[in-house]
Structure 1
Amino acid sequence: MRTITLGASQLKVPAVAVGCMRINALSPKEAETFVQTAMEQGAHFFDHADIYGGGECEEIFADAIHMNSDVRERILLQSKCGIRPGSFDFSKEHILSSVDGILQRLRTDYLDVLLLHRPDTLVEPEEVAEAFDQLERSGKVRHFGVSNQNPMQIQLLQKYVKKPLVANQLQFSITNTTMIDSGLNVNMENEAAVNRDGSVLDFCRLHDITIQPWSPFQYGFFEGVFLGSDKFPELNARIDEVAQRYNVSSTAMAIAWILRHPAGMQPVVGTTNLERLKDCCEAADITITREEWYDIYRAAGNILP
C-alpha cells in the first residue's frame, strides 16, 4: 500500500488506517485472521481508543496480533484518550494514567501516535503540554494529535504543546461533507454556506495536520451505511458506475473518493469484514478524475453554486 507522511512528522503511514473499535465482536480466531489480513494488505497502522469496548478492544488486538518486540517493529499504533463516563478529561493526571492503561492493554512500551478524543471545554492547555512532554521524554508516546477539534481549539493547545500536532480525526464521508460544503459556497445564502467548523479543512492543510476521516461509510451520526441504502439511490448508482470503470467495488470507490482530495487524508476504516477490508485497502491505488469526484459529490445531494 502506498504511504503518506503523517502531518509535520517524518512518520510514513499507510494511506488507509485500520480502526479496531469493533474487534471485540469477533471470536479470537476471527480477530487473528482480521489482523493478519490487514497486515497482508500493507495496512499496518491500527487505530484504537481507551473507550473501545471499555479497553477490551486493545487487549483483544494484542492477543490477535501475538504482540511481541518483533511484531511491534512492523506495526504502527495509535490510540485516543480523554472521554470518561458523562464527561471529558484532558487533565494531566488523566492523560498519563490513560496512556499507562493503553500501553498495558496493548502490551507495548510506546504508542506511535496519541490523540485527544473529543474536546474538553475545561481543558487547561498547560497541563496537556506537561503531560505530552512527560510522555515524550519517557518514550511512551512519539507523536501527538487531536480528534474532533476545530482550528481555535487546536491553536490553543499548540500554543503550549511543543511538538506539532500531526493529526485531527474528523467525521467525513461522501454524505458527511460539511468541511467541504462551506468552502464551495462562500458568500452564498444557503444552508451549505454555513461554516460549522471554522474552516477546519483549510486550517489542517495550512498547518500540515493530517485529517483522519472516521465513519467513511456512514450518513448522519451513525444513522447507517449509505452504500446500498435505498435512501441514496442516485448516489449509489453513480458510485457503482464509477466503480465499474475501475473494476473495483463500491466500497473501494467510497474510500477512493476520500483519498482523491489533495488534503492527503488518511481514512480510518472500521469494518471487520475481510472482503470489505481488502476493498478499502485497494482504494489506495485508485485515483479518480476531478470530474468523477464532483459527479459523486453532486449525486449525494450537494448542489454547486
Structure 2
Amino acid sequence: MKSMPLERRGISNSRLVYGCMGLGGDWAGSPLTKEDYITAEKAVEAALEIGITMFDHADIYKKGKAETVFGEVLKNRPDLRDQIILQSKCGIRFPDETGVHRFDFSKDHILASVDGILSRLGIEHLDVLLLHRPDALMEPEDIAAAFNTLRSAGKVRHFGVSNMTSAQMRFIQNSLPEPLVVNQLELSLARLDWIEQGILVNQKAGLNTNFADGILEYCQMADVQIQAWGPLAKGLFSGAAKVDSPETVKNTAALVAQLAAQYEAEPEAVVLGWLMKHPARIQPVIGTTDSKRVLACRDAVRVADAMTRETWYALLESSRGVRVP
C-alpha cells in the first residue's frame, strides 16, 4: 500500500490521528477537574501505545479547554512535544458580545486564534493549522496574508482546510505560495455519500447525493491528505447498535464482528480498516475518550492491508442495504 500524502511530504507517518474534541470536560465552560486531566492523560497514553503520533485540536473544542488540558499533558511530559505532530483548527466563532454564531477567516481573527492555541497548548509552533469549515465571506488574499505572517513568525509550519469542496480549495490555493496539505471531512461506513457520489454517476439514485463532486479526486491529484472525522460512526458497527437500529446497521455490525474474528482484531479496527483501504489513503481521526476503544483501533492498518476488494464491497453493500448498481 502506498504512503499517505502527509508522509510523502515529510510531515507525519501516523496512519491514525487522535482527535481531542472530547477532552476538557463539558462545553458549558465549567472549570477543569482532576478527572478531566486524568482522562486526557489516559487517552494520550493509549494513542501513543498504538502508534498514533498526530493529535488534532480546534480552538473551539470545549471552548478552549481541550487544548488547555492537552497543554498540561505536554507540560508533564516535556519530551513528548518533539515526538508528535500537533494540528489545530480555527475559523468558527460562537455567539458573543460582538455577534452571532459565524465563520471568520479574516486575517486578524486567524492570527489571534493561533496565538490563543499556542498559549493554551503551551507550545511555540503548530505543525498544521486548518481552516475550520468554509467562511462564506472568505477572501483568499486575506487568508494568504495571515498564513504568510504565521509562517514567517515560525508559528505554523503547514496549512489545510476542513469540510471544503475542491473548488473552494482551488479558490484559496490560488493565492497561496505553499500547498494546502489536509482536507478533513466526515467519512465513515455509516456516512457513504462520498462513495455514492462516485458510483452513482449517471444513475437516478444519485440525484439526491449530497457530497460535492470531485473532492476525493482533487485531493489525490494534489497530494492533499484526506482526514476522516467521525470514522467510527459513533460505534454503530462496533457495539453501539440497538435492538431498534435499522436492519442495515445490525447486519453490518454482524458482518464487522465476523470479520473481526477472521482478522483476529477488534471491530473498531475493521471499521477503520475499511476506510483506510481506499486509494485516497484516508487518515481516520478517532475521537473517543475511552482508552479501551482507542486501544481497540491498534490493528486498523493490518486489517486495511489484509482486506480484499470483495470484502470491502461486501461491507459497502451491507451498509447501503442494496447492491452497488
* TM-score category, normalised to shorter length: over 0.9
SS at match of 1:281: coil
Structure 1 SS opposite 2:188: coil
Q: Equivalent residue for 2:184?
A: 169
Is 1:300 aligned with 2:319? yes
User: What is the CA-CA distance between 1:68 and the residue it aligns to?
Assistant: 6.3
Shift of residue 285 of structure 1? 2.4
Query: 1:31 maps to what in 2?
Result: 40
C-alpha deviation, 1:108, in angstroms: 0.3
- Select the residue among 218, 225, 238 that pairs with 2:233: 218
Sort the Cα spacing of 1:177 and 1:184 in 2 relative to 1 into closer, same or farther, 3 A. same
SS in 2 for 1:298: helix
Alpha-carbon deviations, 1:176-198, whole Å to 9, x = none? 11111121121111136746312
Q: In structure 2, do the counterparts of structure 1 residues 153 and 5 end up closer, same or farther at CA, with 3 Å as the change threshold?
A: closer
Find 1:44's aligned residue among 53, 70, 76: 53
Give, in whole Å, the separation in 2 of the partners of 1:192 and 1:285. 36
**Contact 2:87 2:128 (8 Å CA) reproduced:** yes
Assess, with a 3 A threshold, how the Cα gap between structure 1 residues 207 and 112 changes in structure 2: closer, same or farther: same
2:219–2:225: 8 Å Cα contact kept in structure 1? yes
Q: Which amino acid aligns with 1:24?
A: G
Answer yes or no: is the 8 Å Cα contact 2:236–2:253 preserved in 1.
no
Segments ≥4 residues shifted beyond 6 Å: none
* CA shift for structure 1 position 13: 2.8
Match of 1:135 in 2: 150
1:15 equivalent in structure 2: 15
Partner of 1:277: 294
Letter in 2 for 1:96: L
Deviation sequence 1:104-146 (CA, Å, 0-9, x none): 0000000000000010010011000010011111110000000
Q: Does 1:96 align with 2:107?
A: no
- AA partner of residue 233 (structure 1): K
SS at structure 2 position matched to 1:27? helix
Q: Is the 8 A contact 2:19 2:286 kept in 1?
A: yes
Whether contact under 8 Å (1:150, 1:197) holds in the other structure is: yes
Deviation at 1:42, TM superposition (A): 1.6
With normalisation by structure 2, the TM-score equals 0.87
Distance 1:227 1:40 in 2: 21
- Counterpart for residue 255 of structure 2: 238
CA distance, structure 2, for counterparts of residue 192 and residue 65 of structure 1? 48
Q: Distance in 2 between matches of 1:171 and 1:3?
A: 21
Distance 2:49 2:207 in 1: 41
Please point out which of 80, 97, 101 is paired with 1:71.
80
TM-fit CA distance, 1:203: 1.3
- SS of the aligned residue for 1:73 comes to helix
Cα distance in structure 1, aligned partners of 2:119 and 2:43: 22
Task: Report if the CA contact (8 A) 1:20-1:47 is conserved.
Answer: yes
**Offset at residue 29 of structure 1 (A):** 2.0
C-alpha separation in 2, matches of 1:192 and 1:172: 20
- What amino acid is aligned across from residue 91 of structure 2 in structure 1? G
What do the CA deviations read for 1:222-279 (whole angstroms, capped 9, x no partner)?
xx74433133111111111111110111111101111111111110000111121012
Q: Residues of 2 paired with 1:262 and 1:81: CA distance? A: 29
Gapped runs of 5+ residues in structure 2? Answer: 26-34, 95-100
Equivalent pairs, count: 300
2:282 is the alignment partner of 1:265:
yes
Q: 1:159 Cα deviation (Å)?
A: 0.3
What is the aligned counterpart of 1:118 among 133, 146, 154?
133
Moved more, 179-188 or 100-109: 179-188
* SS of the residue 1:268 aligns to: strand
Aligned partner letter, 1:295: A
1:31–1:12 CA distance, 2 compared to 1 (3 A): closer
- Alpha-carbon RMSD across the aligned residues, in angstroms, is 1.9
2:102 paired with 1:83: no
**2:214 and 2:207 mapped to 1: Cα distance?**
13
CA distance in 1, matches of 2:317, 2:215: 22
Distance 1:217 1:72 in 2: 27
C-alpha separation between the residues in 2 aligned to 1:34 and 1:182?
35
Contact 2:18–2:52 (8 Å) recurs in 1: yes
Are the structure 2 counterparts of residues 68 and 132 from structure 1 closer, same or farther at C-alpha, using a change threshold of 3 Å?
farther
CA contact (8 A) 2:197 2:213 kept: no
Shift in CA distance, 4/199, structure 1 to aligned 2, threshold 3 Å = closer
Question: Percent same amino acid at aligned positions?
Answer: 41
Q: Which moved more, 1:208-217 or 1:193-202?
A: 193-202
Q: Give the distance between the partners of 1:133 and 1:278, measured in 2 at CA.
A: 39
2:238 paired with 1:227: yes
